[in-house]
Amino acid sequence: MKNIFKLLFVSLLVLPFSCHDSENIVDELLEPVNGAVVRGVEVYTTEGQGLINSSNNESAFVATIEEQDVQDGGLMAEIRMYVDFIDYTPDNGDASTMALAQTFLPSDMYEGPHGLPRKDIVLTWGEMKTALGFVGGEAIAGDLLKIQFELELTNGEVYGYQDAAGSILGGFFSSPYTYNALLSCDPAPGDYLVKMYDCYGDGWQTTGAGDNVTVQTQGLEVYVDGDVRNYMMCSQWNPWEGTPDCTPTADGFYAETFANIPEGASVVTWSWIQDYYAEIGVEVYGVGEFDSNGEWTGPLLFSSNGGENPTDCSTGGLIAPGLLPISQCAQ
């Protein structure tokens, strides 16, 4: 199962000013941000959804970058690309490390449509492992990769993410210097058990509450190769069966259902969308079956309260919106 931090996609924004005006603006902005930027013209991963598949050495980070300085590329000495591996699964040991992956010289660049030096990049997972010195077992699904760029000028000055002032992080400059991708894997196919809790006992209110809300939407969202599925406990306020495909509950406190991941699925992500009253808890268990005692045999992959009482609302919102660290790799 793949869970992700979504990759920060950066695109070139065309601003409504003339070429003469743009040159003035470039001169004004480049000086306070230390004289140069590395713009991300296009950035993505081959798996989509900001994923690098650890089951596939050819899974890759792909980008087109563009260097700009006050001499339109004339000050560039080299651009260095690093892989920063952040171990979010320390149960197998903390392998966090950073390594130089590739170096680009002016001779490696080509002239882009704005007369500035560009470079098309493909950095595979196999190449990342080699750069990091990984031999096997260090990285698993759920760990984070940061692809970071560092620009050195001919005068010896070096700039990276720490030098990216707000004026160059968006708009025409689009230069964050760093991009995140989540390490994933080929997901284990089968049924995942989803346990849904509500500590108030009135089912889930994800969008809102009251007579003006006729249908609750979203909740737990599972993306499977372009197919988006939503799982939620029915709410008594809209009424119990008012939301399409919601899971019925006998008491408003608890319900359970299954999320099926089909054989051959490649891109799977789990996300939490919204909890209107901050009273919802969720547990997700990996592929398994009920044993003779009625217990699910699959491993606990996610608990909204760290494995403790999932209905404890004493600390406020139980689940932060966004991608959830849920993964179970195929054997």
In a domain, 13, yes or no: no
Boundary residue ending a domain (118, 152, 184): 184
Average pLDDT over residues 107-126: 96
In a domain, 8, yes or no: no
Residue 31 has pLDDT above 70, yes or no: no
Q: Are 287 and 306 members of one domain?
A: yes
Q: Are 247 and 309 members of one domain?
A: yes
Q: Are 27 and 176 members of one domain?
A: yes
Kindly report, residue by residue over 52-100, the tens digit of the pLDDT. Answer: 999 899 999 999 999 999 999 999 999 999 999 998 877 777 899 999 9
Residue 197 has pLDDT above 60, yes or no: yes
Q: What is the reported pLDDT for 172?
A: 35
Q: Are 174 and 199 members of one domain?
A: no
In a domain, 5, yes or no: no
Residue 125 has pLDDT above 80, yes or no: yes
In a domain, 4, yes or no: no
Boundary residue ending a domain (157, 184, 211): 184
Q: Are 166 and 280 members of one domain?
A: no
Q: How far apart are alpha carbons 145 and 278 in whole angstroms?
A: 31
Q: Are 269 and 295 members of one domain?
A: yes
How many residues are there in the chain? 331
pTM for the model stands at 0.61
Residue 12 has pLDDT above 50, yes or no: no
Least confident of 33-37, 269-273, 289-293: 33-37
Which one is predicted more confidently, 297 or 208?
297
Q: Determine what percent of the chain is predicted with pLDDT higher than 90.
A: 39
Sign of CA dihedral 243, 244, 246, 251: positive
Position of tokens 């013209």?
A: 41
Domain of 228? Answer: 186-331
Q: Are 33 and 175 members of one domain?
A: yes
Residue 185 has pLDDT above 90, yes or no: no
Q: What is the CATH number of the domain that holds 82?
A: 2.60.40
Q: Are 209 and 146 members of one domain?
A: no
Q: What is the reported pLDDT for 294?
A: 93
Q: Are 168 and 198 members of one domain?
A: no
Kindly report, residue by residue over 224-236, the tens digit of the pLDDT. Answer: 988 988 898 888 7
DSSP bridge partners of 118: 66, 110
Q: What is the reported pLDDT for 329?
A: 87
Q: What is the reported pLDDT for 200?
A: 87
Least confident of 43-47, 87-91, 149-153, 215-219: 215-219
Q: How far apart are alpha carbons 144 and 140 in whole angstroms?
A: 9
Q: Are 172 and 193 members of one domain?
A: no
Provide the strand spans (E) within 154-277. 158-159, 178-184, 190-198, 220-224, 227-231, 254-261, 268-272
Q: What is the reported pLDDT for 238?
A: 55
Q: Are 171 and 56 members of one domain?
A: yes
- Spatial contact of 185 and 213, defined as CB atoms under 8 Å apart: no
In a domain, 252, yes or no: yes
Which one is predicted more confidently, 162 or 198?
198
Residue 54, classed as helix, strand or coil, is: coil
In a domain, 10, yes or no: no
DSSP bridge partners of 256: 195
Boundary residue ending a domain (184, 207, 230): 184
Which one is predicted more confidently, 193 or 277?
193
Question: What confidence category does residue 307 fall into, taking pLDDT thresholds of 50, 70 and 90?
Answer: low
- The mean predicted confidence, pLDDT, of the chain is 79
Q: What is the reported pLDDT for 9?
A: 30
In a domain, 127, yes or no: yes
Q: Are 233 and 116 members of one domain?
A: no
The count of domains in the chain is 2
In a domain, 11, yes or no: no
